[in-house]
Amino acid sequence: MSTMTAPAPAVEAVNLQKRFGQIHAVDGIDLALSPGRIYGLLGPNGSGKTTLIRLLTGLAHASGGEARILGTKMPSRKALGTIGYMPQAEALYPELSVGENLGFFARLESHADRSSIERVLDLVELRDRKGTPALELSGGMRRRLSLAVTLVHEPEVLFLDEPTVGVDPALRVQFWTHFRRLAAQGTTILVASHVMDEADRCDELLFVRSGKVIGQGTGAELRARAGTDNLEAAFLVLSGLDPEGNPIEPRADGAPGEGESIGGGGPMAGGGRPGAVL
Amino acid sequence: MSPSRILAIARRIAQGFRRDERTLGLMFVVPLVVTALLGWVLKDTKDTVVDVVIVNEAGAVGDRVVTALTDAAKQPDSDIALTATVATEDEAVAHIRDGTGDIAIVIPSDLLATVQAGQRPTLTVISAGTDPAAETGRFGTLQGVLADIASQLAPPGVTPPVIPQVERKTVYLSPDASQVDVLAPIFLGFFGYFFVFLLTGISFLRERIGGTLERLLATPVTRFEIVTGYSLGFGTFATIQVIVLTLFILNSIDVPSFDLPAIGQHTPAFSLGLGVASAGSPFLAFAIALLLSLGAVNLGIFLSTFARTELQVIQFIPLVIVPQALLSGILWPIERLPDVLQAIAHVLPLTYAVEGLREVMLKGSDLSTTVVQTDLLVLGGIALFFVALASATIKREVA
């Protein structure tokens, strides 16, 4: 089920690059994410997931290539109104209450009606904490508030950077139920994660390593392509490692994962960080 | 007690410093810069020439004093210059008001008679009264010259040479004005500037490191909106601060002694507030202090770019505050600073604020005065400049 045939991608990247000095944090990524689908962005720490999201949202300037959101080239202030971005950091005002944090960001999005705020408060189950300063919330509650802030203006495209870190399993299920509902309403969602059991909740996965997409497809497709029955092993194999994370010797010339997926491809930089992948 | 644990803690601090080169740098560089600056100011402070105006009420006798003073002023290393000889005190006061004279000396009509009667003559000396420290220095210079002249002019047979008594008058304030009266305008400018800068710097740094700035930038908000919002938010508190400080400086409430029967004591009576009389409009003084604070808000935002931790913002204090305290005319008149430092003084916002506040609060100048107009314009310009500078540091790319 290739996304290439989808008519108008909600999120597009063409040869997107970001260099920090000698480091290629994002190394020529091409993407076309269809509306109303949930994409999982999987890769080890430092693989370029966050940089990719920052390029797509226009928070970082690309060193090369371009990103488009709903057809608008980024960075674009206008397009930002259609984006919801949940950063990895909590990014809340600790001295403001739950309601005040929500109200503040809602006003910046010109979306400060009471019903929007009540809706997201219910969603993250923080209605009874509305007056509590963010400072006094538990880690999981702050995560929930951070998500609520991201959703308050009903964005069409959602970028969630590790949204469920520190969220208990029951609430995590609820988060995903809601993501699924948003997708059904047409919201495009890109979730960066390294939690494998979440990966299978996504419609499609993007494996990222060293700033490149090394595989794209459904979980089942990626597993089949790697010839393994679990995603973690699939990632390692597509990274050019064996299922235990050891470099394959002699190294294969063509990366095993290179297939019909967009972008990525090419021999992987060998050596990586065996065992520390996900 | 475990020495190894103590050493572990000490080591941890050293390791932290090794990673925090900025703090380490500031720790050595800042005191050196500040000390060097202080040394420079103290060593190279210029002896400025005192512009003397003579009020000659004594006719021919006075002319001899004028001639003697003129000769003294012509000496190659003379510290005085004779700018004008006038007939009345009012004319001398006008010279001091328009800045063409620093100090005026009145030669009384009864000078000759007094001296011949063997009595000490009284000379009236008029100065602006707005800067007692500088004026005392000028007065000392003049006194030395006068003592020489007195011995030259002493009529034959009068020994020892008469040393005149001096009566001081001031154009502004009173000759007995306390240091508080003179420093009040500076309090107003300095504290507003200092606290606003510090609070904004730390607050904006928290936006940067806490991720909220990144989150703000992922909304359609513009940089200008952020900077203006900050100016408005902190400006409001700066306004309240300036109002409170202005009220405290200008008013004084006497708090009487209260008996405390429980302990058989009574509280001492005291007064709250400085009770300084502002010669000019408190609103104008307030406007100057507010413009200064708005500049400080945006300076804080700008400098927060260069800090990674709150500790580092605090390290900027000596760099931002101390040079302004030394150079803005608070401690030394700007014209006595070495030339290079004078040039620096003229780009410091506090220089204009101190000048404007002194002008308004001590001299009673209003908006029609060129100095006040200039100071307001420059302060407004500096505030706008810092707004632009602060905006420029808020990029969509927050690395």
Q: Per the CB < 8 Å rule, is A77 touching B215? A: no
Q: Per the CB < 8 Å rule, is B218 touching A59? A: yes
| Mean pLDDT within A32-60 | 90
User: Which of B111, B139, B170 represents a domain boundary (last residue)?
Assistant: B170
Whether B27 is covered by a domain: the verdict is no
Reduced 3-state DSSP string for chain B: CCHHHHHHHHHHHHHHHHHCHHHHHHHHHHHHHHHHHHHHHHHHCCCCCEEEEEEECCCHHHHHHHHHHHHHHHCCCCCEEEEEEECCHHHHHHHHHCCCCCEEEEECCCHHHHHHCCCCCEEEEEECCCCHHHHHHHHHHHHHHHHHHHHHHCCCCCCCCCCCEEEEEECCCCCCCCHHHHHHHHHHHHHHHHHHHHHHHHHHHHHHHHCHHHHHHCCCCCHHHHHHHHHHHHHHHHHHHHHHHHHHHHCCEEECCCEEHHHCEECCCEEECCCCCCCCCHHHHHHHHHHHHHHHHHHHHHHHCCCCCHHHHHHHHHHHHHHHHHHCCCCCCHHHCCHHHHHHHCCCHHHHHHHHHHHHHCCCCCCCCHHHHHHHHHHHHHHHHHHHHHHHHCCCCCC
Whether B22 is covered by a domain: the verdict is no
Residue A1 has pLDDT above 60, yes or no: no
* Nearest-neighbour CA in chain B from A198: distance (Å): 24
Whether B40 is covered by a domain: the verdict is no
First to last CA, chain B: 44
Q: Per the CB < 8 Å rule, is A60 touching B214? A: no
> Are B236 and B295 part of one and the same domain?
yes
| CB pairs < 8 Å spanning A and B | 54
Whether B1 is covered by a domain: the verdict is no
Whether B26 is covered by a domain: the verdict is no
Hey, which residues 130-189 in chain A have their CB within 8 Å of chain B? 149
Chain A residues closer than 8 Å to B397 by CB: 59-61
More confident residue, A4 or B197: B197
More confident residue, B298 or A2: B298
pLDDT level of residue A271 (50, 70, 90 thresholds): very low
Residue of chain A whose alpha carbon sits nearest to that of B211: A91
Q: What residues of chain B have any CB closer than 8 angstroms to a CB in chain A? A: 210-212, 214-222, 396-399
Whether B302 is covered by a domain: the verdict is yes
Chain A residues closer than 8 Å to B210 by CB: 89-92, 94
> Are B206 and B333 part of one and the same domain?
yes
Contact A275, A243 (CB under 8 A): no
Tell me the two tokens of residue A68: 């488009």
What b-and-e string marks burial along B343-374, b requiring 16 or more CB atoms within 10 Å of the CB?
Answer: ebbeebbbbbbbbbbbbbbbbebeeebebbee
Which alpha helices (H) appear in chain A, and where do they start and end?
A: 49-56, 77-80, 98-108, 114-123, 139-151, 169-184, 196-199, 219-226, 231-238
> Are B154 and B201 part of one and the same domain?
no
Chain B residues closer than 8 Å to A85 by CB: 215, 218
pLDDT level of residue B80 (50, 70, 90 thresholds): confident
* Nearest-neighbour CA in chain A from B303: distance (Å): 21
* pLDDT tens-digit map of B261-297: 777 788 787 877 787 777 788 888 888 888 888 888 8
The position carrying tokens 């606003």 is B196
> Are B145 and B277 part of one and the same domain?
no
Check which CATH number belongs to the domain holding B111 and give it. 3.40.1710.10
| Mean pLDDT within A227-237 | 83
Whether B42 is covered by a domain: the verdict is no
> Are B222 and B134 part of one and the same domain?
no
Test mutation, A56, A59, A92, A145, chain B, max B CBs within 10 A: A59
* Nearest-neighbour CA in chain A from B366: distance (Å): 41
> Are B304 and B214 part of one and the same domain?
yes
pLDDT level of residue B330 (50, 70, 90 thresholds): confident
Listed in sequence order, the residues at least 6 apart from B37 whose beta carbon sits closer than 8 Å to its beta carbon are B322, B323, B326, B327, B341
Q: Per the CB < 8 Å rule, is A57 touching B218? A: yes
Domain of residue B57, residue span: 50-170
Whether B14 is covered by a domain: the verdict is no
> Are B78 and B200 part of one and the same domain?
no
> Are B130 and B244 part of one and the same domain?
no
Q: How far apart are CA B353 and CA B289, in angstroms?
A: 7
The burial of B276, by beta-carbon neighbours within 10 Å (0-12 exposed, 13-18 middle, 19 or more buried), is given as buried
Listed in sequence order, the residues at least 6 apart from B2 whose beta carbon sits closer than 8 Å to its beta carbon are none
Residue A89 has pLDDT above 70, yes or no: yes
First to last CA, chain A: 25
Q: Per the CB < 8 Å rule, is A91 touching B212? A: yes
- Structure ipTM: 0.79
Q: Per the CB < 8 Å rule, is B398 touching A58? A: no
Task: Identify residue B325 by its one-letter amino acid code.
Answer: A
Q: Per the CB < 8 Å rule, is A87 touching B210? A: no
> Are B310 and B251 part of one and the same domain?
yes
Residue of chain A whose alpha carbon sits nearest to that of B214: A59
User: Which of B138, B170, B202 represents a domain boundary (last residue)?
Assistant: B170
Q: For residue B353, give the nearest of B201, B197, B202 by alpha carbon.
A: B197
Chain B residues closer than 8 Å to A59 by CB: 214, 217-218, 396-398
> Are B335 and B237 part of one and the same domain?
yes
Which range (A2-11, A247-256, B14-23, B218-227) has the least confidence?
Answer: A247-256
Task: Identify residue B152 by its one-letter amino acid code.
Answer: Q
The chain-wide mean pLDDT, for chain B, equals 83
Residue of chain B whose alpha carbon sits nearest to that of A105: B216
User: Which of B147, B170, B193 represents a domain boundary (last residue)?
Assistant: B170
Q: Per the CB < 8 Å rule, is B212 touching A110? A: no
Q: How far apart are CA B245 and CA B251, in angstroms?
A: 10
**pLDDT score for A259:** 36
Q: At what angle do helices B21-44 and B310-327 cross, to 10 degrees?
A: 10
Tell me the two tokens of residue B182: 């003179």
| B397 vs A60, A78, A94: nearest CB | A60
> Are B194 and B330 part of one and the same domain?
yes
B99: left (phi over 0), alpha (psi -120 to 50) or beta: left
pLDDT level of residue B391 (50, 70, 90 thresholds): confident
Residue A119 has pLDDT above 50, yes or no: yes
Alpha-carbon A249 to chain mean position: 33
Residue A86 has pLDDT above 90, yes or no: yes
**pLDDT score for A251:** 43
> Are B196 and B317 part of one and the same domain?
yes
Q: For residue B399, give the nearest of A42, A101, A25 by alpha carbon.
A: A25
* pLDDT tens-digit map of A48-70: 889 999 999 988 888 999 999 99
Q: Per the CB < 8 Å rule, is A75 touching B218? A: no
Angle at A131 between CA B205 and CA A96, to 5 degrees: 10
Total domains in chain B come to 2
Q: Per the CB < 8 Å rule, is B218 touching A85? A: yes
Three-state SS at A125: coil
| A90 vs B211, B219, B221: nearest CB | B211
**pLDDT score for A137:** 92
Chain B residues closer than 8 Å to A94 by CB: 210
Question: pTM to 2 decimals?
Answer: 0.75
| Mean pLDDT within B30-47 | 84
A108 lies within 8 A of chain B by CB: yes
